[in-house]
Amino acid sequence: MKAKIFSILFIGLGTIQSFSQISFVKSQELGTDFHYTSAVGDIDADGDLDIIISGDKGNNLWINNGKGEFSISENNLAYVVGGVGVKLADLDKDGDLDLFIASSAFDRGVPNKVFLNNGSGKFTDTGQNLGNKASPDVELADLDGDGDLDAFVANHPTWQNNQYQNDGHNEIWLNNGTGNFTNSGQSLKNGLSTDVELGDLDGDGDMDAIVTNNDGTYNNEIWINDGKGVFTEGNTTFNFKSSGCALGDIDGDGDLDIFFANVTANTVFINDGHANFSNSNQFLGNTRSYNAVLIDIDGDNDLDAVAANGEYTVEKANKIYFNDAKGVFTESSLFIGNGKSYSVNCFNADNDGDKDILIINNGNNELYLTN
């Protein structure tokens, strides 16, 4: 899930480890509010990876000291409430990481926002108000082939007066190269969208999309790009409730497959290389997963899965599933927290060469370092 900076795909740790050699140690709690997701990148240009954490009360910047120890920055973007999808990327082509915040709080007067980085981690609001819908997620990539990063925004209707208002059509916002975005005018199917992931699904060299919906009325949808940023609906629909998904080459055949994080058991769909997907008939877990990432946890050069689990009021154990290199997953016993978890991010927090895990919760967010 990723032209994305610091994607969810990290392939190969260099040294193959057995399952028994891997463990995770909780190192730090980052924030105590109701949080949704995170974005990771070298925000202050000092050579290590920092974190933006989004939440219902604001978006906070956590600065890494280079050893995997994080402190909150004064530049915390706290006034941007309702941020659900946060992405870091160089939007104005000046070499540093800027910020796109997808807001679910349009009903509270908070639209999607773009902030530009001055190169040292201080963000400035561009003044753009992008969209008139609730937006749970955004992904950034060069959608129209002009060399800058555009935005695919996943939407759902705003909730006002105990009913949904307007529509939930997904939208494409095109960048002019300076971080200023214009709506392309595409309105991609009404729904209750929860997540969007971008990747070349049909092997033609441009970025396509998979959008998940967590209401049984609407299917998860594939959207195929014509290379100029115009999207048409793909051949495969997925008629189950999903809160999120992850893209990666799960079975090692060179194309992008899908791991769905579902309201019930998680599922895996295999790509034929042309954006036609078949169900692998794996049903992973027995609780709600809000989000998942694909990453090589055990260093054997295939993509394993990490799922963030929980309910709004109920704590559940987050799960790691090991891949056999052919796309068949087995649940591990590795512990990465019990929580009301909404998303997960995997990155090298402490600069020791392996990948650590950040769990975003309704409550204390938890950083687990690989032991």
Task: Give 289-327 as a 3 state SS string.
Answer: EEEEEEECCCCCCCCEEEEEECCCCCCEECEEEEECCCC
Q: Is 107 helix (H, G, I), strand (E, B) or coil?
A: helix
Average pLDDT over residues 327-351: 94
What is the pLDDT confidence band of residue 165, given thresholds at 50, 70 and 90?
low
For 38, 135, 174, the CA distances from 6, given in Å and listed in that order, are: 11, 22, 21
- 334-346 average pLDDT score: 93
Q: Is the pLDDT of residue 109 over 80?
A: no
**Cα angle at 198 between 195 and 204, to 5 degrees?**
150
The position carrying tokens 């877990």 is 285
107-143 CB burial, b ≥16 within 10 A, e <16: beebbbbbbbbeeebebeebebebbebbbbbbbbbbb
Closest CA to 96 of 196, 197, 179: 179
Q: What integer pLDDT is reported at residue 84 of this predicted model?
A: 79
3-state secondary structure of 208: strand
Residue 138 has pLDDT above 70, yes or no: yes
| Residue 37 CB neighbours (<10 A) | 27
Task: Name the least confident of 65-74, 109-118, 331-340.
Answer: 109-118
Give residue 77's pLDDT band: very low, low, confident or very high (50, 70, 90): confident
pLDDT in tens, 234-249: 998 898 889 999 999 9
Question: How far is 173 from 197, CA to CA, in rounded Å?
Answer: 15
Judge whether 296 and 353 are in contact, CB under 8 Å.
no
- Determine the Cα–Cα distance for residues 98 and 43; give it in Å rounded to an integer: 8
Tokens linked to 281: 């008939």
Helix H or strand E segment including 204: none
Report yes or no: 61 and 70 within 8 Å, Cβ to Cβ.
Answer: no
Is residue 16's pLDDT more than 70? no
Categorize the per-residue pLDDT at 8 as very low, low, confident or very high, splitting at 50, 70 and 90: very low
248 forms beta bridges with 257
**Euclidean distance between CA atoms 231 and 141, whole angstroms:** 14
What are the tokens at 364?
């204390």
Amino acid at 82: G
Burial of 14 from C-beta contacts in 10 A (0-12 / 13-18 / 19+): exposed
Q: What is the rounded distance in angstroms from the CA atom of residue 218 to the CA atom of residue 81?
A: 27
